[in-house]
Amino acid sequence: MKMMTTIEEMQQTMQAYHKQGKTIGFVPTMGYLHEGHVALMEAARKENDIVVLSIFVNPLQFGPNEDFDRYPRDIARDETIAKEAGVDVLFYPSVAEMYPRPLSVKVTVTERVNVLCGKSRPGHFDGVATVLTKLFHIVMPTRAYFGMKDAQQVAVVDGLIRDFHFPIELVPVPTVREADGLAKSSRNVYLSEKERQEAPALYAALQKAKAAIENGLRDPQAVRALIEDYLMTHTSGAIDYVDVYSYPELKPLDTLGGTIIIAIAVRFTNARLIDNITMDVPSL
Q: List binding-site positions.
A: 30-37, 61, 147-150, 153, 176, 184-187
Selected catalytic residue, list 37, 124, 137, 165: 37
Binding-site residues for (R)-pantoate, in ranges, read 61, 153
Within 10 A of 192 (CB to CB), how many other CB atoms are there?
13
Q: Which of 264, 261, 266 is nearest to 277 (CA)?
A: 261
Is 37 a catalytic site residue? yes
Using a CB cutoff of 8 Å and minimum separation of 24, what contacts does 123-128 make?
123/63, 124/61, 124/62, 124/63, 125/61, 125/152, 125/153, 125/156, 126/60, 126/61, 127/58, 127/59, 127/60, 127/61, 127/62, 128/58, 128/60, 128/61, 128/153, 128/156, 128/157
Q: Residue 48: which residues within 8 A CB-CB, separation 6 or more?
A: 22, 23, 24, 25, 142, 143
For CA atoms 155, 160, 161, 162, the dihedral sign is positive
Q: What residues are labeled active site?
A: 37
